[in-house]
Amino acid sequence: MPKAQARRMNLGAFIHETGQHVAAWRHPGAYAESGTVFAQAVDVARTAERGKFDLLFLADSAAVSVFGSPEAKGRMGKTVKFEPITLLSALSAVTTNLGFVATCSSTYNEPYTLARQFASLDQISGGRGGWNLVTSNNEAEAFNHGRDTHVSHADRYDRAAEFAEVVQGLWDSWDEDAFIRDQESGVYFDPAKMHVLNHKGTHFQVRGPLNVARSPQGRPVLVQAGASDTGRDLAARMAEVVFTAQTTFEQAKEFYGDVIARLPRYGRTQQEVKVLPGLYPVVGRTEAEAREKFDFLQSLIHPSVGISVLEHTIGVPNLGRYPLDGPVPEMGDTNGPLSRQRLLLEAARRDKLTLWELCLLNAGPRGHLLTIGTPAQIADVMEHWFLNGAADGFNVMPAWLPGSLNDFVDMVIPELQRRGLFRTEYEGKTLRENLGLPKPASRYAKPAVPMVAE
């Protein structure tokens, strides 16, 4: 019998316009215009593909943040960006194997439009598309979509579950062999292999079918990011890749185990889900060099920006009225990013941080795992999480672009490959094949009839 292939990590490259760090654009080597210059985005995507990443994961928000003083807003380097489907469709034309996941909110979109956009991305890329299902945590998005107030946390998740059901139903609108395209007979498709959804629910009424053919990988990969109890349940119910923020191994292991334990409720198995915590690595040839890189970026944070970004991250305004060298104030649950708020406040209490120390902690990782060190030290942490029930891989968050991504690809990837933890070549052409996820059957597929011996 052939030897079973060892389990290997999956890696995403989580990309903000100029990098994950709030002051990334101020680094002398940064792509400071990467929210507006396509060539810079192409370079980042090709670097991720050179590193054999599974996917490029595009962060997005459909609004400029309302948090912060006018001074802070004028210092923010993540203000403008490309619309994600447009950008990723273009990037798919200049890459071959890299997957593309776009963040697109269920709160202020319509399922038919979104299903059509992602089905098109998947066709254009040859089956390398994925949708990161989120509920909007930027309250400013409400003001751009005909509302004066943000939808409540519970209502956002209730809508999201139905939204995703509709999208997945629309992605099953056509059988793989529906299109005959017989020029001689004049038959273009088989109407029996077209399926009308006719969804009528609490939030949506959608007839269908989708006017985009079935995906080369069955359907785009569904990614979900959310750590609250409702978020975990939605992940277990629908997600194929779960993106999560965890600061300690113990937190990550608890989250991983909890999500996996919920899968049987929805008739799902562990083989259908990959859990990828966020990883913020700062890599140096020596530990001292890595620390110097980290400290340099931290030194570029203006106080007004540090406060503003913390306000945005935890959904709580007016933190500037508190002394920066004082304790983190007590605060109630936000209607914005609830799980991230709780995660950061727990870290502040655990480590007895001042408000400014919490701002500094948030400026780069934003509640994700921070690792500073040599390639071997960073690989040690990744290996520990991977082999001990805390992760199936990581969503790597480069501090600034292109430098931090280059550091990871040139130094950490070879170390992971040397340990047999990461691929040296892509396994397949589609995102599902490279992630090791099964190709989903259409809900309309007829079950195979077992042969009976005569």
For 332-355, write each residue's pLDDT tens digit. 776 656 667 777 888 888 888 899
- For residue 2, name the pLDDT band (cuts at 50, 70, 90): very low
pLDDT tens figures, 17-46: 899 999 999 999 999 987 899 999 999 999
Q: What is the pLDDT at residue 34?
A: 76
388 phi and psi, to 5 degrees? -125, 35
Distance CA 396, CA 99 (A): 14
Which residues are paired to 103 by β-bridges?
132
Distance CA 408, CA 293 (A): 13
**Measuring CA to CA, which residue among 144, 141, 152 is closest to residue 338?**
152
Distance CA 309, CA 279 (A): 19
Quick one: average pLDDT of 236-252? 94
SS (H, E, C) 354-386: EHHHHHHHHHCCCCCEEEEECHHHHHHHHHHHH
Does residue 84 have a pLDDT over 50?
Answer: yes
pLDDT tens figures, 229-242: 888 998 999 999 99
Q: Would you list the domain boundaries of the chain?
A: 10-174+212-299+367-435
Residue 263, SS3? helix
**Measuring CA to CA, which residue among 381, 370, 323 is closest to residue 343?**
370
Quick one: average pLDDT of 211-215? 97
Does residue 194 have a pLDDT over 90?
Answer: yes
Q: What is the pLDDT at residue 235?
A: 92
Length of the chain: 454
Q: What is the pLDDT at residue 14?
A: 97
Distance CA 281, CA 310 (A): 20
- For residue 423, name the pLDDT band (cuts at 50, 70, 90): very high
Q: Which fold has domain 10-174+212-299+367-435?
A: TIM Barrel (3.20.20)
Residue type, 35: G
Q: What is the pLDDT at residue 279?
A: 98
Does residue 174 have a pLDDT over 80?
Answer: yes
Distance CA 298, CA 279 (A): 17
**Measuring CA to CA, which residue among 168, 159, 169 is closest to residue 135?**
159
Distance CA 286, CA 373 (A): 7
- For residue 195, name the pLDDT band (cuts at 50, 70, 90): very high
